[in-house]
Amino acid sequence: MYDVAERSGVSIATVSRVYRTPDSVRAQTRERVLEAARQLGYVPSGNARGLASRTTGVLGLCFPDYSDPDTENEAAATDEDDDHAFMLYSDQIIRGMERAARRHGYALLIAASLKGGPESLVANVAGRVDGFAVLAGTVPTADLEVISRRLPVVMVAGRRGIDHLDHIVVANTDGQRTVTRHLIEDHGLRRLAFIGGEAASPDAEARFAGFQQACREAGLPMPDAPTMRATMMTQAEGFRVAEALLDRGGERPQAMLFANDQMAVGGLHALERRGLGVPEDIAVTGFDGIPLGRLVRPTLTTVRQPMRRLGEEAVELLVQRLADRDRDPVSLMLPVSLARRASCGCG
């Protein structure tokens, strides 16, 4: 910085203002400073800035790295050069956070691996960011309680867990109730199988509650638990669970309602392998609205949640919390919408 100031004939304070508040410096002076910086190869040090301001200029995101090899294989095999089509739930949230963080002048640090346990994940992120968003189930509540005493934390999806934290969720129960009622009322289906995730997944359980509500309202038997549960909400597990359900024998369900789109796509593959038509023999629905649902055949009926907006709202809450640490905690519920497509008999 001293060298840039000397070469451009300005003070060190002016060089600092060019990078921190460029509009406060005359355009001619600003360009002279930037040209000197280019000639010298000068890049401002984020660490040095942090020492002065006690901030990092970085926001963090922690989420479980539940990668889906099946999706990666499909992306490699497709002739379409469109990575967006294979973006999954967490990818969309990342894209939303990146967009909003950039708008506010922040970078984004992503911690997506649980190797070494969630404690190491928190340690890797917490000391290097001004605040961070955490997807439900990623970090133990006790650890979040400790870290939130000195850093803003926003919970994304799932239950709030800690009352004083900001929280964003989508209308999981209402969404699943809507798609279940659609199958019952618009398609006349009565034998419905709900494929859930782990009991520890708050979102999957909220969706099952919506399924229960729709069954009760239609006068159908209301199950106490999902018909089948997956251990992870991936395509491979959706395939496995659909196969297991078909192998149980007895009267075949008229519809399989999966707790997310990735499992539903796996279920479609299993039904195709068995020679069963969708929706002629069994209707299939998902939840999330990932782009892959529009790519499979038949196209997937699903509940579309605003994944990218989840990421954007997480950043907005963090920025607001950084500006006012004492404001009341906020809990947002974002709306969802039903996407009627071919896998249920629409479209």
Per the CB < 8 A criterion, the answer to whether 146 and 181 are in contact is: no
Give the sign of the dihedral formed by CA 10, CA 16, CA 17, CA 22: positive
**pTM of structure:** 0.79
Do 293 and 321 fall within a single domain? no
Residue 49 counted as domain residue:
no
On the CB side of 141, CA atoms within 13 Å amount to: 8
Residue 52 counted as domain residue:
no
Residue 53 counted as domain residue:
no
Element (H, E) at 257: strand 255-258
Do 298 and 326 fall within a single domain? no
Do 161 and 233 fall within a single domain? no
For 11-32, what is each residue's pLDDT tens digit? 888 888 887 778 888 899 999 9
Residue 20 counted as domain residue:
yes
Residue 12 counted as domain residue:
yes
Q: Model confidence at 80, in pLDDT bands (50, 70, 90)? A: very low
**Amino acid at site 166:** D
CATH no. for residue 9? 1.10.260
Residue 106 counted as domain residue:
yes
Structural domains in the chain (count): 3
Do 204 and 230 fall within a single domain? yes
Q: Model confidence at 178, in pLDDT bands (50, 70, 90)? A: very high
Pick from 111-120, 140-149, 202-211, 283-292: least confident: 111-120
Domain range spanning residue 179? 172-305+339-344
Q: Where are the alpha helices (DSSP H) in the chain?
A: 2-8, 12-20, 27-40, 46-53, 69-77, 89-103, 118-126, 141-147, 172-181, 202-217, 235-247, 261-273, 292-295, 307-323
Residue 26: how many other CB atoms lie within 10 Å:
9
The mean of the pLDDT values for the chain is 86
C-alpha to C-alpha distance for 315 and 8, rounded to whole angstroms: 37
Do 179 and 164 fall within a single domain? no
For 324-340, what is each residue's pLDDT tens digit? 989 999 999 999 999 99
CATH no. for residue 238? 3.40.50.2300
